[in-house]
Structure 1
Amino acid sequence: MIKLVAFDVDGTLRDRDYLPESTRASLRKLKEQGIALALCTGRSEYEMESLREELGIDWAITCNGSHIGYRGKTVFGNAFPKDTVRLWLQEAEKQKHTFLLYGSEKMFMTRAEDPHFRQGQQEIGFMEPVALQSIDEVPDIYQCIVFCEEHEEGIYTGEEKGRYYIHRWRPWAVDINPTGMNKAVGLRKLMDHLGIRPEEAAAFGDGHNDFEMIELVGSGIAMGNAVDDLKAKARYVTRSLKEDGIAYAVDKWIITSAS
């Protein structure tokens, strides 16, 4: 019986401002069945607040698993050491790289204007960040996005890239998360907190940073628009986001097993 369903956001729940009405109806149906819902995304809690409230979802696993919030309040978090972040920002200033820093309540940016950030904002819809005033006053940071080329990321990750969870999502942008973190780690933490076993959970995803999450749960579901590698790992492959893929999967594989 399914007790928890986790959803990646971009490319899964929504495409920019487009969120199918069939998806909204399916979320209501799941809640009526007493099934817990969670967002599970590489974005920040700050960026997910309006969507979470709009959809009536209590839990958000953000920053690729590094932060878990309940109705916007931190429940679990694995932040970078502040000294590490300060060193990165000092180096970024020399290299003229821009950092996007994900805290629990705000999203900070180190440079007022960056063409790569603006391109990312246009492509996937970043919210406008707050300017970081001083590296001496850095709050807890759960994820960094560095706008740099792949050959430059070693400046921050070091020679041993296994020290961090790294997800390069554009040639000019890379996510960096604390050691050992990914969406599955955050989702398992939430499942342990709620007393839910992996076989009692389902998860939807479409991208490379969904691999671990899809493998963790008993019902890993890849969207029809997912990357081929994720489809190969998933237990099920549904239709695409724009073909009502979540509604199709909920009716075919989740509600039936929840009853």
Structure 2
Amino acid sequence: MSDWAPKLVALDIDGTLLAWVDGQTEEYETITAPVYDAVHRVLDAGAHVVLASGRSPHGMTRIADLLDLPRDGSDRLWVVASNGAVVFRYPPMEVVHEETFDAAPAVAAVLEHHPNALVAVEEREVGGYRVNRVFPEGEISGEQIITEVDDIVGEPVSRVIIRDPEATAQDFVELGARLGLHGTDYVVGWTAWLDLSPVGVSKASGLEHVCAQLGLTAADVLAIGDGRNDIEMLTWAGRGVAMGQAVDEVKAAADFVTDPVVEHGAAVEISRWFPPAGA
């Protein structure tokens, strides 16, 4: 790949741009100087930067602001949210593509095994979520509106979060495999956190939509991520890079493993292709 250079850099947020910590609050959302500078070197070179996260849209615009994206005079930023189910431009936020599905059967199946689990669906109008019970502090952003589960998933949605603070990530991995969760795709987070999405929807499918609008292909993309919800993106991209702290199955899907987030691994990888002046 000596003559290859990315034309688009797709960046996960939590665990890639930000160092996720237990009991996190919004104060943890800090972009380090090496990461900030690396992102802007991508733009200086005329390449595109796209944020791609499992976060809902309102949880991603803050990160764009911290990165000063887009820059003054530049086109609006492309953002892939909700694990690919929502693609929007910013600012102002304009949803340009959205995939929805009937989540009720899958949610019911999970709750049979985890009846005390928390359920959330984005409520975009208020910049928050409809939830069956309040989530632990720092785990989801914005207002939480208490709602019955039947009403939360009573109409098509783009993504459902199911969280059981009393279970483990491995519990959810095994449950997903056992249930099959027909009619939906799912991904397990670092904890007992399950994201349900429409079949075939992932960060890769969302980025495919962005590339089509920009006249690019997967071969033009450098993608960096650390979670199970990054696996499709890492295998799809021309170069997929896992963060150093990622679990083994994410590392196995990647072309390369960079340093951990606490050692600015995203900046290390970006600098390979967009080095600092004088380097």
Q: Which residue in the other structure is 1:75 paired with?
A: 96
Following TM superposition, by how much is the alpha carbon of 1:24 offset from its aligned partner in structure 2, in angstroms? 0.4
Q: Which residue in the other structure is 2:22 paired with?
A: none
Residues of 1 paired with 2:186 and 2:209: CA distance?
20
Paired AA for residue 85 in structure 2: S
Q: Which residue in the other structure is 1:128 paired with?
A: 142
Matches within 5 A, 1:41-56: 41-55=53-67, 56=69
Paired AA for residue 7 in structure 1: L
Would the alpha carbon gap of residues 87 and 216 (structure 1) be closer, same or farther in structure 2, given more than 3 Å must change? closer
Any idea what SS the aligned residue of 1:141 has?
coil
Higher helix share: 1
Residues of 2 paired with 1:6 and 1:243: CA distance?
19
Paired AA for residue 176 in structure 1: L
Work out whether residues 43 and 63 of structure 1, in 8 Å CA contact, stay in contact via their aligned partners in 2.
yes
Any idea what SS the aligned residue of 1:37 has?
strand
Work out whether residues 20 and 242 of structure 1, in 8 Å CA contact, stay in contact via their aligned partners in 2.
no
Structural RMSD (CA): 3.2
Paired AA for residue 163 in structure 2: F
Q: Which residue in the other structure is 1:180 paired with?
A: 200
Q: Which residue in the other structure is 1:100 paired with?
A: 120
Would the alpha carbon gap of residues 230 and 133 (structure 1) be closer, same or farther in structure 2, given more than 3 Å must change? closer
The two structures have a TM-score, normalised by structure 1, of 0.80
Any idea what SS the aligned residue of 2:15 has?
coil
The two structures have a TM-score, normalised by structure 2, of 0.75
Following TM superposition, by how much is the alpha carbon of 1:31 offset from its aligned partner in structure 2, in angstroms? 0.9
Following TM superposition, by how much is the alpha carbon of 1:195 offset from its aligned partner in structure 2, in angstroms? 1.1
Work out whether residues 103 and 143 of structure 1, in 8 Å CA contact, stay in contact via their aligned partners in 2.
no
Q: Which residue in the other structure is 1:37 paired with?
A: 49
Work out whether residues 122 and 130 of structure 2, in 8 Å CA contact, stay in contact via their aligned partners in 1.
no
Following TM superposition, by how much is the alpha carbon of 1:43 offset from its aligned partner in structure 2, in angstroms? 0.8
Residues matched between the structures, number: 245
Following TM superposition, by how much is the alpha carbon of 1:99 offset from its aligned partner in structure 2, in angstroms? 1.6
Which ranges of structure 1 fall in alignment gaps of 5 or more residues?
none
Residues of 2 paired with 1:254 and 1:138: CA distance?
47
Any idea what SS the aligned residue of 2:17 has?
coil
Paired AA for residue 132 in structure 2: R
Work out whether residues 145 and 173 of structure 1, in 8 Å CA contact, stay in contact via their aligned partners in 2.
yes
Work out whether residues 223 and 237 of structure 2, in 8 Å CA contact, stay in contact via their aligned partners in 1.
yes
Paired AA for residue 128 in structure 1: G
Question: What is the aligned counterpart of 2:163 among 119, 123, 147?
Answer: 147
**Is 1:62 equivalent to 2:78 in the alignment?**
no
Which ranges of structure 2 fall in alignment gaps of 5 or more residues?
20-27, 71-76
